[in-house]
Amino acid sequence: MSKPAHTRFQRTLSSTMPREATRPFSTQARVHPTFLPYLHTRGRLAARWVPSTIAFIAAAYAVNHYIQLEAASRRAAENDERQARESRALTIELLDAYGDGSSLEALEKAVEVYEARTAASGSGRSSSG
């Protein structure tokens, strides 16, 4: 049984050539562990997330501020509408009570309503005071 040709060639080649180290070895040589590159990736990953996180926070703040401004303006508009309705109702009530002054009957009715109101409010004040 003969050995394959390539193993015989390797054996003869290795025996004829001097064996050299691929890199020099000494006791002062630094050891570079295989896990060392993985230790430093955490800082780089955090630094990569910082700009996008800040952008997200800024966008969320802007949206929240916009929503608050819209709610405040909506409340102000509703308050203005309520005051306008109350003012119109009071104006209509006063016109009904006192009249528009176009006729003598409207003025006489207005005087009667006015006297009735002052008498009611005057008696209410005197009984409570």
- pLDDT value at position 5? 57
pLDDT, tens digit only, all 129 positions of the chain: 566 655 555 555 555 555 665 666 666 666 666 666 666 666 666 778 889 999 999 999 999 999 999 999 999 999 999 999 999 998 888 777 776 777 788 788 888 888 888 888 776 554 444
Crossing angle of the two packed helices 104-128 and 41-98, in degrees rounded to 10: 120
- pLDDT value at position 119? 87
- pLDDT value at position 74? 97
Q: Measure CA 104 to chain center.
A: 65
Would you say 111 and 97 are in contact if contact means Cβ atoms under 8 Å apart? no
- pLDDT value at position 128? 46
- pLDDT value at position 127? 47
b or e along 77-86 (b: 16 or more beta carbons within 10 Å of the residue's beta carbon)?
eeeeeeeeee
Q: What is the pTM of this model?
A: 0.43
- pLDDT value at position 118? 83
- pLDDT value at position 129? 40
